[in-house]
Chains A and B, each alone.
Chain A
Amino acid sequence: MAKGFYTDTTVCIGCKACQVACHQWNGLPAEEPGERELTGDSYDNTGTLSALNWRHVKFIEQIPEDRHQNGFLDGSRWLMMSDVCKHCVHAGCLEVCPTGAIIRTEFDSVFIQTDVCNGCRACLAACPFGVVDIGSDGKAHKCTLCYDRLQHGMEPACAQACPTDSIRFGEVSELMALAEQRAADLGAHGIQAQIYGKDDIVGGLNCFYLLVDKPEVYGLPAKPELPSSNVAAALGGSAATAALLAITGAVSFRKRRMDDMSRDESAPEDEP
């Protein structure tokens, strides 16, 4: 039962609540507190997915120069899209990880066990989407699909925070059906929308998108490639290893999370 995201970019209002919810839940600090500068790239001031930004909202202004003639009536668009780890069905990062730090979980998501990761950076090059990043601890980081929340029957923090349901979490096959329907509805109103992340994209993305322009416009590769051509052959072997590691990894991760929680709860009341 693969879990994932269907991100409908046509209803994303660029509020960045998903970015903030992700930071909050995962205890990710803001980057260089107070020292960020205005990038001038529309309303995007965090730039890319990174070790600290596991979600990143992109802003693409498409407004013709001659908008004086007809106002913003013709062809003016401001596309917004919340990017995230795709939790690929064939994950390049997982495939190349030499230590087995990257595992596939019981939710079919791709999870980095930071305590196993040795910071070799192989996964960085292997991810066709530039998702994985090395943090200041020297280890690889990316979206966990809120593994700890899923284990407790909760939906990921970003999906819960999204006010317009641009981010929908659930069973990938069900989400795909929703997306197909949405694309058809939009098509009936003259809006061309495509799903990015079916089988044609590295064998399918558990976190896929509904786009209204070419993938490149959103900074997504039109034809992403996995690092090696023999990935498919290697998949069988690594899956078994992954399953084993998944159990130990998941247990240690959950324990850490629970320890953190109980520590929080026992904090004295009036501590400043």
Chain B
Amino acid sequence: MGSNFAECHPVGFRWVMKAKERGCKVIHIDPRFTRTSAMADLHVAIRSGSDIAFLGGLVNYILTNDRWFKEYVVAYTNAATIVAPEYQDSEDLDGLFSGYDPEGRVYDTSSWAYAGTAAGTPNMGHGAKSANEPHSKEGNPGMDLRRYPPRSDPTLQDPHCVFQILKRHYARYTPEMVASICGCTPAEFDIVARTLCDNSGRERTSAFAYAVGWTQHTVGVQYIRTAGIVQALLGNIGRPGGGIMALRGHATIQGSTDIATLYNLLPGYLTAPSVQIPDHDTLEGWLRREMPTTGWWANGRKYMVSFLKAWYGDAARADNEWGYQLLPKNVGDHSHMPMFVAMHEGVVKGFMAIGQNPAVGGQNAVYQRAGLANLDWMVARDIFMTETADFWRAPDVKDPSAIQTEVFFLPAATVPEMDGSFTNTQRLLQWHDKGVESPGDCRSDLWFTHHLYQRLRALYQGSTNPNDVPFLSLTWDFEEEGPRREPKAESILKEVNGYTLPDRVPVAAFADLKDDGSTVSGAWIYTGVYPKDGVNKAASRNGDDWVALGWGFAWPANRHILYNRASADPSGRPWSERKKYVWWSEDEKQWVGYDIPDFQVTKPPSYRGVWSRGGMDALDGTDAFIMKPDGKAWLFAPSGLVDGPMPTHYEPWEGPGANALYKAAPRNPVAKLFNVVGNRYIDPGDAAFPIVISTYRLTEHHLSGVMSRWVPWLAELQPELFVELSPELARERGIGNTDWVTVATPRTAIECKALVTRRLKPFQVMGRTVHQVGMPWHWGYRGIVTGAVVNTLASLVGDPNVTIHEGKAFMCQLHAGRRAEEVARGLPDRALPLPHVGRRERQAAEAMIDRGITLAEQASSLDELVVKEPAPYLPLDAPIGVYHG
């Protein structure tokens, strides 16, 4: 679900086909019949934006038909845990959970805590409290479980226990309700539910594979949470053939989350400090808030101190909080969409687009381009002259001289031209060696970053400004090689892995990291990838047909399946011979098996935790989910989420109509909204935009097309932008196959060809017909093949947990023929390619203020302050959306 595995991850899909050849059943649930559906045993079409209803239906099916894996659920999940009596469910409050503040559009999440852990504890905050607060670490444990373990009722009868809450919460998700919301039939739902349950349990396991079809929603995080609940109830986590696989879109997008290109994370999933969180003022406060005292994260101090030593070296000392104050602090949500709003506001003045093409890939792409037009400077580093690099000469920019942004283009090397690692979807690091030298001035990303730092450092050298201390304190001692002075990728890997001080011997495992400043580790989760000087496990290639522990390195500690303690029953025996994976050996008195145990290797199943000791000692020999403070898989999330402890069906921000379940809160009540000029939303069911649209990718192209639209062999395979629509809708609108069509949303209108196909179908949603179309978004105005930018249609609106956009479900209108300009002109607040307050005006205003201050400072009498020249024209009262260049 939520992925088009065969088309977007064809190489990984090889293994699905191998499994299928061996009898595995493949189910594809997707709005369209895609190349993945063609390979599946079963395809069920549901409307974009309705997956939580479908998955919630599965939860209900599993519970009402008694298909849950009882021993697993009782032992390994928090089903038995008692939740605070103050907690009120969305089923009681018509779509809202307890603690909602309608004015701030935020939840006070304290009533979602486990019973006895909420009241009177000052640091119950977990995750972001308001839309502007930065996100905390994903799944941040945060709860105060310091003194007592949570209370539980192993009989699962207590009305406040998670199991009973879960049952009540999903009781209305019947097959009929699912069908009505999703647009499938109860029979289709039933066959999926039955197949999934029949293939789960002791003898069998089932896996979910998802991609951005699940994440790109205003309830994106909760989509995945729902799958987590289904899988935990069926006992499909921590076991071979089970799990929830996030199919990540780029070769190393997993790596870029691990080594944190995200603003709110430091490497290794340590929360980036924020000035908005008072606890983050000091390292001790940060540790108190971010690191629970029980479970594996109780080791957090070692990881943080080792990380600070990696960045700041000798400047990180015991007497200065290990350099904690040198870390930059967030002042708000600095993720992608808010960054572009800040460009419009003149707050962000410079921008580096490195291997990123927001002029094509950004939601409401015209608005995002206008943000670039409001910058002082921009650097684009890429392998071709992308639409972003060339944004100032986009076809809709009538007068490029109106854009004052100074643009630098730096040519980049491609992957075969550099050494480095990829971390793929299952956390496996694989090294790649440079094959050829990059031509001309093209340089690797490492080279660029390394030499940028060196040059900046030369400029900062000798500065006495205290603001420059953090920059000058960074350690930067990577080895260089060759005439180009390329930084040695392995020397960076060594720092990421970690080593001891002062002798710089690589650390073999993260268990060896210390909190006394004697170890360095750039990202603790990667420790072990470079265990000895000259030994790079990411480059190891000793594969086999089984778990393949000798191929690459899977973080953490080369564990291929996380939480694999759960592959054995509570007493440590495999659930079945067929699904044997990691088990307790009474002879050896340790956990053994095919994988590296994700558990303390000598802790016996019979061990009883002593809570007051904290750390791993607090958890039982049956607490398989060691990263959680209570060692359990969370069916109900008492902390870490800002939009509800359990997922519930909300309509997309722009959806086709009412929510069948809730009137008070039909959409995510805490979705991140951007009420700015040029980003108009429509209300649910707006008759002017009645068609559901989803955007996606094709096998033939890659993302914004930089790596495919410039390659003739790929470009010719999908040469033109198209919209896929059903023959029924095509007939209704008088559109023939390959005809030109205009697609419009409140943001803008674009033109493309029609691909009429029965692979799409109209849905019956709550008793009426809802049409759905889809558009691949690879095209732009540069490259060998060009086409309109599909992401100009989408809005800026985000999930409140992670601020991902909602490109997978919004509403549009179709018109036959090429009418984009005319249709766009009729839109009341469409996005325009130049900011509505231009840079010149901003500069003029700033200059005027500066001049006023100087005058005031120098003036000896009031008379001198009378302005004798006309003020520059400031279009503050200009009609919205009109640019005055």
Chain A interface residues toward B at CB < 8 A: 11, 13-17, 19-20, 23-24, 29-40, 42-43, 45-46, 61, 63-65, 67-73, 76-80, 163-165, 185, 269-272
Distance in angstroms between the alpha carbons of A42 and B757 in the assembled complex: 8
Distance in angstroms between the alpha carbons of A101 and B20 in the assembled complex: 44
The reply to whether the CB of B42 lies closer than 8 angstroms to some CB of chain A is: yes
Do A38 and B758 contact each other (CB < 8 Å), given the known contacts A13-B13, A70-B185?
Answer: no
Main secondary structure of the interface of B (DSSP, over half): mixed
Are the C-beta atoms of A40 and B755 separated by less than 8 Å?
yes
Question: Which residues of B sit under 8 angstroms from A37, Cβ to Cβ?
Answer: 719-720, 738
- Of the candidates B39, B43, B714, the one whose C-beta lies within 8 Å of that of A72 is B43
Question: Which residues of B sit under 8 angstroms from A80, Cβ to Cβ?
Answer: 35, 38
Distance in angstroms between the alpha carbons of A35 and B713 in the assembled complex: 12
Question: Which residues of A sit under 8 angstroms from B738, Cβ to Cβ?
Answer: 37-40
Are the C-beta atoms of B712 and A269 separated by less than 8 Å?
no
Distance in angstroms between the alpha carbons of A29 and B712 in the assembled complex: 8
Give the distance to chain A from B185, nearest Cβ to Cβ, in Å.
6
Give the distance to chain B from A194, nearest Cβ to Cβ, in Å.
18
Q: How many A-B residue pairs have CB under 8 A?
A: 150
Question: Which residues of B sit under 8 angstroms from A17, Cβ to Cβ?
Answer: 10
Closest to A29 in B: B712
Give the distance to chain B from A140, nearest Cβ to Cβ, in Å.
22
Are the C-beta atoms of A72 and B717 separated by less than 8 Å?
no
Question: Which residues of B sit under 8 angstroms from A14, Cβ to Cβ?
Answer: 35, 38, 699
- Of the candidates B6, B712, B753, B761, the one whose C-beta lies within 8 Å of that of A13 is B6
Main secondary structure of the interface of A (DSSP, over half): loop
Chain B interface residues toward A at CB < 8 A: 6-7, 10-11, 13-14, 17, 20-21, 33, 35-39, 42-45, 184-185, 187-188, 191, 437, 439-440, 698-700, 712-720, 722, 727, 737-738, 753-759, 761-762, 764, 784-785
Distance in angstroms between the alpha carbons of A40 and B35 in the assembled complex: 16
- Of the candidates B17, B33, B700, B716, the one whose C-beta lies within 8 Å of that of A76 is B33
Are the C-beta atoms of B14 and A165 separated by less than 8 Å?
yes
Distance in angstroms between the alpha carbons of A110 and B191 in the assembled complex: 49
Do A45 and B717 contact each other (CB < 8 Å), given the known contacts A40-B738, A78-B37?
Answer: yes
Are the C-beta atoms of A71 and B44 separated by less than 8 Å?
yes
Are the C-beta atoms of B38 and A16 separated by less than 8 Å?
no
Question: Which residues of A sit under 8 angstroms from B753, Cβ to Cβ?
Answer: 38, 40
Are the C-beta atoms of B437 and A270 separated by less than 8 Å?
yes
Are the C-beta atoms of A16 and B699 separated by less than 8 Å?
yes
- Of the candidates B11, B33, B718, B761, the one whose C-beta lies within 8 Å of that of A45 is B718
Question: Which residues of B sit under 8 angstroms from A42, Cβ to Cβ?
Answer: 757
Are the C-beta atoms of A70 and B759 separated by less than 8 Å?
no
9 A-B interface contacts by CB (under 8 A)? A11-B39, A13-B13, A14-B38, A19-B717, A35-B719, A37-B719, A42-B757, A78-B37, A163-B11
Distance in angstroms between the alpha carbons of A23 and B711 in the assembled complex: 12
Contacts A16-B699, A16-B717, A72-B43 given; 7 further ones with Cβ under 8 A?
Answer: A43-B35, A61-B759, A71-B185, A73-B191, A78-B759, A80-B35, A80-B38
Are the C-beta atoms of A73 and B42 separated by less than 8 Å?
yes
Give the distance to chain B from A39, nearest Cβ to Cβ, in Å.
7
Closest to A33 in B: B712
Do A163 and B14 contact each other (CB < 8 Å), given the known contacts A63-B33, A71-B188?
Answer: yes
| 3 closest A-B pairs by CB | A30-B712, A78-B38, A40-B738
Closest to A30 in B: B712
Question: Which residues of B sit under 8 angstroms from A67, Cβ to Cβ?
Answer: 758, 761
Are the C-beta atoms of B39 and A34 separated by less than 8 Å?
no
Distance in angstroms between the alpha carbons of A39 and B719 in the assembled complex: 9
Distance in angstroms between the alpha carbons of A258 and B697 in the assembled complex: 39
Give the distance to chain B from A57, nearest Cβ to Cβ, in Å.
9
Are the C-beta atoms of B784 and A68 separated by less than 8 Å?
no
Give the distance to chain B from A70, nearest Cβ to Cβ, in Å.
7
Are the C-beta atoms of A33 and B715 separated by less than 8 Å?
yes
Give the distance to chain B from A34, nearest Cβ to Cβ, in Å.
4
Are the C-beta atoms of B188 and A163 separated by less than 8 Å?
no
Are the C-beta atoms of B188 and A16 separated by less than 8 Å?
no
Distance in angstroms between the alpha carbons of A40 and B698 in the assembled complex: 15
Do A36 and B10 contact each other (CB < 8 Å), given the known contacts A20-B714, A71-B45, A78-B38?
Answer: no
Distance in angstroms between the alpha carbons of A165 and B764 in the assembled complex: 39
Are the C-beta atoms of A164 and B699 separated by less than 8 Å?
no
Are the C-beta atoms of B43 and A71 separated by less than 8 Å?
yes
- Of the candidates B35, B698, B737, the one whose C-beta lies within 8 Å of that of A78 is B35
Question: Which residues of B sit under 8 angstroms from A19, Cβ to Cβ?
Answer: 713, 717
